[in-house]
Amino acid sequence: MSPASQPATTPNAVAWTDLGHGVTLNENAWTDQAQRLLPEDLLRLIARLHRKLEPTRQALLADREDRQAAWDAGDLPGYLPKNEHPEAHGDWQVAPLPDDLQQRRVEITGPVSDPKMVINMLSRNDQGDRADAAMLDFEDSMKPTWPNVMQGVENVRDAARGTLTYTKPASNGAPGKEYSLDPDDMPLLMVRIRGLHLRESNLRVDGTPVSGALLDLAMVAYHSAHTLIDQGKTPKYYVPKVEHYREARWVNRLFELVQEGLDIPVGTFKATFLIETLPAAFQMEEILYEFREHAAGLNGGRWDKIFSDIKVLREHSDRVLADRNWIDIQRPWMEMYVKQLIKVCHEHGAFGMGGMAPHTPGRTEEMREKQVAGVVDDKEFEASIGHDGCWVSHPYFIGPALKPFEEKLGAQGKTHQLDVIPDLPERPDLLPKGGVGPKTLDGLRVNVRVSIGYMKGWRQDLGCVAWDHRMEDLATFEISRAQTWQWLHHEVTLDDNTVVTKSVVRRIFDEELEKIVEETREFFADAPEEVIEEQVDRFRRAAADAQAIFTEENMRPFLAQASELYGAEK
């Protein structure tokens, strides 16, 4: 193979390198690392997958737009007609779960691109606690820049081998620190691929960008699946943001084709689908049926679900939701949705996984104690209704999240709760309820403040940021901007009689930015003035970006639907 560069065809565009087999790559992206990770046989596989699957993916995305247009015109999402997919409601079971998927009480997640975080997720914390599984994320907690994606693939490869290491450089008089894995004491390794809507701009087949999900799965499986299988472990994946059973069918076909392409028996891969969109909540049984050969379970992704609730019903003035911090898993429609998820999963032999504890450890002991109590309360509720496990975003909270599940399952000598079937109506009401709960200026301030902090990280190619003692990722940014957009669109009157207008939103941005600037100057008080000003400028730019997105006339479906062209002018 002798790659040849092709000239750019549009102003400010990148040049493209021809890698053969119809594959072209952004010339800037053909780094030494990419050349190691994209050998010719993998490129051939990616090209075959793209040609077989991309037309259907485009049709599925067009279907999403048609459904949203109908909802915007007044329709409501709901269950499918009973005669549309009757086989999904019969007496069937998912394929038997392998031994290493039988206990998933606590799963920890974070960006796959950060080797230190990957090592920490796959290791015991300072208290000696270890998660049962670690989900290495190419999606909500990782901005999909080309370097991040390539580093993520390399991290998964080395983690599967047990050889991943990281050296923290010495700084400010503190010595460097070495991080490494204990291959004999690691949790189940899992990978979350990108969603159906995301395309990888830097790699094209026949002139068309490839699916991010396709690229992630093909690359990660190529570099780690056989390694895991040889160790007697299961290649395990998470699939986000599915909206319809036909999308689950597409992903299942992707799984089949990747396994066939790598000479792996079909059904070896296992996956958990996140039910984190309102449309998918009404099709859980159909979705599980479509990937029953590869199914490990479903997960109730509560944060993206709240975003989807708002986005889907954005034009429905009678379903405008209250402050984001008020919407917890015990609100009636949220509780019904996770109980329905547990019921569907357990009836068919799959795990029903619970939600995320998004905290990062507070600075004071009092704050940490309060956080721990909140995590325990949340996980006690999830364990009590039948979940088989839950998520945390920081190693510090593994123990508190684990405790309720240990107490519930340990007392019965079980590793899961597949025997628990919640008692629900045949078709429970899953539609979000408007007209209840607070809508406050403080709630608007939270949305704005989160968006400034998150957008600063996004501009620095980070997909998650520790902010106000929580881990804010793309999902919580999406909630914040969707809710603000909806309140603005409907000119909502808040509890103090403030009407949400563009001028009010801009004023809150100005006020919250100045608070953040003051906090930044205080935090960096001992740093050189140029360092302080650089940080302040980054927050100002982030605030400007976020404000522009919050006040758009038309609400975009996602913050981004494509990765950036690496090395292109912005």
With contact defined as beta carbons under 8 Å apart, do 346 and 352 qualify?
yes
| Amino acid in position 11 | P
66 burial (CB, 10 Å; 0-12 / 13-18 / 19+) is exposed
Which H, E and C letters describe 433-486, residue by residue? CCCCCCCCHHHHHHHHHHHHHHHHHHHCCCCEEEECCEEEEHHHHHHHHHHHHH
Radius of gyration of the chain (CA): 23
Interacting residues of 355 by C-beta distance below 8 A, sequence separation 6+: 299, 300, 301, 302, 303, 329, 338, 378, 382, 390, 391
**What is the rounded distance in angstroms from the CA atom of residue 398 to the CA atom of residue 419?**
25
**What is the rounded distance in angstroms from the CA atom of residue 157 to the CA atom of residue 150?**
11
Sign for the CA dihedral angle at 428, 273, 319, 452 comes to positive
Residue 192 annotated as catalytic: yes
189 burial (CB, 10 Å; 0-12 / 13-18 / 19+) is buried
**What is the rounded distance in angstroms from the CA atom of residue 519 to the CA atom of residue 513?**
10
Q: Which of 100, 216, 388, 473 is catalytic?
A: 473
Q: Which of 157, 192, 314, 319 is catalytic?
A: 192
Residue 304 annotated as catalytic: no
User: What are 190's strand-pairing partners?
Assistant: 135, 236
The separation between the first and the last C-alpha atoms of the chain, rounded to the nearest angstrom, is 32
> Number of C-alpha atoms within 13 angstroms, CB side, residue 140?
27
Helix, strand, coil tally for the chain in percent (to 5):
45, 15, 40
**DSSP-H helix ranges across 231-356:** 245-261, 278-281, 284-290, 302-312, 332-347
With contact defined as beta carbons under 8 Å apart, do 256 and 231 qualify?
no
Tell me 169's DSSP state.
P
Residues with active-site annotation: 192, 473
